[in-house]
């Protein structure tokens, strides 16, 4: 599913108006009604609602919402940020409609006109929508600060005012919404962890934009969806054998960190690998062969690495001298793709020129700090994402930039994952992902296929583990994710 820019969404509105056909004011009415219906689910008829509007179309949405709530008997007052200029056509049309049914219309020309906000009030933020392209200043910024200081429930229309839909909003003054009611599709800005404090719960409302629309420019960002995965996923055929699904080498573990190697190996085997050989220190033999009897074990890479479809490296490896030597040897000898995680990434980051030795079609899985160690500091999350997109094209790698909505960057485009939960925020979850990706790379041979399937299944298994009502986010363990992988495969098959 494409994540469209604000300009592309504006094109979509215009396309719908031209082809439905529907007038812009009637489309605004539909959008407002979708918001109104959602707001009434969370508010009682005795609620006091205060609607804040600027004079663009987002403000027009707010005026229509106010009118619809008044028609349902709610106590609603409307506050319009007064800049002197005339509003958009649809704003002005909705203002005239509203004038006929309420006197609770106030124009804010200075900070002294801000209304008192009580703890029980509910604010509807319809100041600035997805078209905003510069930080709020002066009276607008003061009004947003006034709303935030009141600590009231806030419903933001489309996006919280002050937030950019593309790029970083870091440093902006932004409405801190309790609920964000966005139109038709998810937005790029909702994928960023740095925006989470402002968005609250995000609800995507269908306002009937025409499905046949195609933007004039291709989207850079997408969401991973089940239909995408169904186009990739290959069910097993009847005459398959272990050689049909690849043989991978997993280099992992060190003294005191064999648990990471065990988790990665178990996840790899649960993700359909035909054969798995683990490259681990000798002191880990008994642990591995007891915990994961299905995995073979070697202690050196004396045998040619060409025997393997792919190489997974990093979980629990450590950064000591022996680990550095091992990563060096693997980079020297490997021509096949590598799945590189954790300590292996940290080792590479400390050695100039080693990045250039990573084979094409490899998958790198850094979290933000590891990414910055590899590629330099980034001033915000959006810049980091842009860099990952650029590097994926420059080096022909897949970069999985891990987070709540992990990004899969490949050939200049990015896919955000939508599965997973905060229960995964514990040591070992990344090791599980490495194992999954190693197995899928050995089977599918295409790194972006492996990455898209892998990150989605990883998060989905964690979500399904919570469905049992046995685990909570607090109690979820990486091994629980592994145990739910079978259910995750069933869910997309």
Annotated binding site for (6S)-NADPHX: 57-61, 129-135, 158, 260, 316, 367, 431
State how far the Cα of 430 lies from the Cα of 343, in Å rounded to an integer: 11
Place of tokens 């035909």: 274
Pairing of strands 407-410, 398-401: antiparallel
Binding residues for AMP: 402-406, 430
| Main-chain dihedrals φ then ψ at residue 457, nearest 5 degrees | -65, -40
State how far the Cα of 264 lies from the Cα of 283, in Å rounded to an integer: 18
179 vs 41, 131, 159, 167, 385, CA distance in Å?
Answer: 12, 19, 10, 21, 25
State how far the Cα of 323 lies from the Cα of 340, in Å rounded to an integer: 13
- 386: its two tokens: 């842009």
Contact assessment for residue 198 and residue 136, using Cβ atoms and an 8 Å cutoff: no
Contact assessment for residue 153 and residue 203, using Cβ atoms and an 8 Å cutoff: no
Contact assessment for residue 229 and residue 453, using Cβ atoms and an 8 Å cutoff: yes
Rg (alpha carbons) of the chain, rounded to whole number: 26
Q: What is the DSSP letter of 74?
A: -
Pairing of strands 179-183, 153-157: parallel
Contact assessment for residue 267 and residue 259, using Cβ atoms and an 8 Å cutoff: no
Of 352, 279, 367, 266, the C-alpha closest to 322 is: 279
60 vs 97, 286, 422, CA distance in Å?
Answer: 11, 68, 37
Binding residues: 57-61, 125, 129-135, 158, 161, 260, 316, 367, 402-406, 430-431
Of 169, 158, 151, the C-alpha closest to 127 is: 158
Residue 167 exposure: Cα atoms within 13 Å on the Cβ side: 12
Contact assessment for residue 175 and residue 127, using Cβ atoms and an 8 Å cutoff: yes
State how far the Cα of 358 lies from the Cα of 56, in Å rounded to an integer: 50
Of 152, 122, 121, 147, the C-alpha closest to 136 is: 147
State how far the Cα of 159 lies from the Cα of 175, in Å rounded to an integer: 9
Binding residues for K(+): 58, 125, 161
Contact assessment for residue 20 and residue 56, using Cβ atoms and an 8 Å cutoff: no
Contact assessment for residue 82 and residue 107, using Cβ atoms and an 8 Å cutoff: yes
């Amino acid at each position: 599913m494409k994540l469209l820019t604000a300009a592309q969404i504006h094109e979509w509105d215009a396309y719908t108006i031209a082809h439905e056909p529907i007038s812009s004011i009637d489309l605004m009415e539909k959008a407002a009604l979708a918001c109104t219906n959602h707001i009434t689910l969370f508010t009682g008829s005795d609620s006091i609602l205060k609607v804040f509007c600027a004079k663009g179309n987002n403000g027009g949405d707010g005026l229509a919402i106010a009118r619809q709530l008044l028609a349902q008997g709610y106590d609603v007052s409307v506050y319009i940020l007064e800049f002197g200029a005339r509003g958009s056509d649809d704003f002005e049309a909705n203002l005239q409609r509203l004038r006929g049914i309420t006197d609770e219309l106030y124009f804010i020309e200075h900070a002294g006109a801000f209304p008192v906000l009580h703890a029980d009030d509910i604010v509807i933020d319809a100041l600035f929508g997805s078209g905003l392209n510069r930080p709020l200043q002066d009276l607008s910024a003061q009004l947003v600060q006034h709303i935030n200081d009141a600590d009231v429930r806030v419903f933001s229309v489309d996006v919280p005012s002050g937030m950019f839909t593309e790029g970083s909003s870091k440093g902006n003054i932004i409405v801190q919404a309790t609920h964000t009611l966005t139109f038709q599709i998810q937005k790029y800005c909702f994928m960023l962890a740095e925006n989470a404090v402002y968005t609250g719960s995000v609800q995507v409302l269908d306002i009937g934009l025409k499905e046949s629309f195609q933007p004039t420019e291709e989207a850079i960002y997408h969401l991973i969806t089940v239909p995408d995965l169904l186009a990739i996923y290959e069910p097993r055929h009847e005459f398959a054998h272990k050689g049909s699904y690849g043989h991978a080498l997993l280099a992992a573990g060190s003294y005191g960190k064999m648990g990471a190697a065990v988790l990665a190996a178990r996840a790899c085997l649960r993700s359909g690998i035909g054969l798995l050989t683990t490259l681990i220190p000798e002191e880990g033999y008994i642990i591995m062969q007891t915990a994961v009897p299905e995995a073979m074990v070697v202690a050196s890479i004396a045998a040619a690495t060409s025997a393997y479809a792919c190489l997974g490296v990093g979980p629990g490896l450590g950064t000591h001298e022996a680990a550095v030597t091992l990563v060096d040897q693997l980079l020297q000898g490997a021509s096949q793709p590598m799945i590189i995680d954790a300590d292996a990434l940290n080792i590479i980051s400390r050695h100039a020129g080693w990045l250039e030795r990573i084979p094409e079609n490899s998958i790198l899985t850094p979290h933000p700090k590891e990414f910055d160690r590899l590629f330099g500091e980034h001033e915000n999350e959006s810049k980091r994402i842009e860099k990952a997109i650029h590097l994926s094209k420059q080096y022909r790698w897949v970069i999985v930039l891990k987070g709540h909505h992990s990004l899969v960057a490949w050939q200049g485009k990015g896919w955000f994952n939508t599965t997973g939960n905060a229960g995964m925020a514990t040591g070992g979850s990344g090791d599980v992902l490495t194992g999954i990706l190693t197995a899928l790379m050995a089977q599918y041979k295409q790194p972006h296929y492996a990455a898209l399937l892998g990150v989605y299944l990883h998060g989905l298994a964690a979500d399904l583990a919570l469905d049992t009502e046995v685990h909570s986010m607090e109690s979820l363990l990486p091994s629980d994710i592994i145990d739910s992988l079978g259910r995750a495969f069933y869910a997309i098959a």
